[in-house]
Amino acid sequence: METMKQTVEMTPEEKQEYEAFKAAQAEKKAKEQAKRDREAYKELVDETIEEAIMRLQAVSHHIKTDKQNVLNDFRRVIDMKSEVLKLKKDGQRSDTFTNSAGDKRITVGVYVTDGYRDTVEDGITIVKEYIEGLASDAKTQSLVKMVLRLLARDAKGTLKASRVVQLRKIAEETGSDRFMEGVQIIEEAYQPAISKQFIRAEVKDENGAWTNIPLGMTEA
C-alpha cells in the first residue's frame, strides 16, 4: 500500500497559525506527561513508604523484645553477682561482663540525666553573691570567672553534676562557710533521672581491639 503525500499551500499567516497550533498541542502533551510522571512518583513514594514502615516496625519489635530478654537475663546475673561477691547495692549505673575467653563482653546499665529541685536556685544565688563579692583584684577576679563558668548551664538549661563536684573542691579550699553552704544546697537539690536502659555488646577483632556490635539503625 502506497502512502499518498499531499502538498498543502498556505499563506504566511496560515503557516504561522499552524505552527502556533502545533506548539500548543506539544505543550499540552508535555504538561499531561509531566502530570502523569508526578502521579507515578507519588505512587512510588507511597508504596515504598508502606513497605519500609512494615519492615521497620517488625525490626523495632524484634529489637525491643530481644533487648528486654537480654536485660532480664542479666538481671539474674547481676543478682547472683551481688550474692556471690557479697556486694552492696549502691546505685551502680552499669555492669560489664566478660566471657572466660576474654573476647566477648556485654555492658548493661541506665543512662542518667542531671536534674535538680527548685532549691538549686537558692544555692546558686548564695554562691554567686559570695563569689562576686570577692572580685577585688586580678587573682580573685580569675576565681570569680572560674566559679561562674562552673555554674553555667548546658544547652538544655541543666547544671552539670560534674561541675558541682569541682565547685565543692573550690569551696573547701576557700574555707568559707557561706560558700560551702551554697554548694551544699545545690548538692542536696540534685535529683537525677533515669532516661533509659542500654546494652552495649563488644567483641575483639583480629588485632585484639574491642569493637562494638552495631545495634542501632545509624550504626549497622
**79 vs 74: CA distance, rounded Å:** 8
Helix, strand or coil, per DSSP, at residue 131: helix
Higher pLDDT, 1 or 146: 146
- Between residues 29 and 142, which one has the greater pLDDT? 29
Residues 6+ apart with CB under 8 A from 1: none
Q: Given a cut of 90, is residue 87 above it in pLDDT?
A: no
Q: Please determine, for residue 23, whether its predicted confidence score (pLDDT) is greater than 70.
A: yes
d(CA 111, CA 117): 19
Give the C-alpha separation, 149 to 172, whole Å.
Answer: 18
Q: In which band, very low, low, confident or very high, does the pLDDT at 45 lie, cut at 50, 70 and 90?
A: very high
pLDDT digits (tens, 9 = 90+) for 166-198: 999 999 998 899 999 999 999 999 998 887 889
Confidence band, pLDDT 50/70/90 cuts, at residue 8: low
Helix (H, G, I), strand (E, B) or coil at 15: helix
Strand partners, 96: 107
> What per-residue confidence (pLDDT) applies to 15?
81
Q: Coil, helix or strand for 208?
A: coil
pLDDT of 1 above 60: no
pTM for this model (two decimals): 0.59
pLDDT digits (tens, 9 = 90+) for 95-108: 999 999 999 999 99
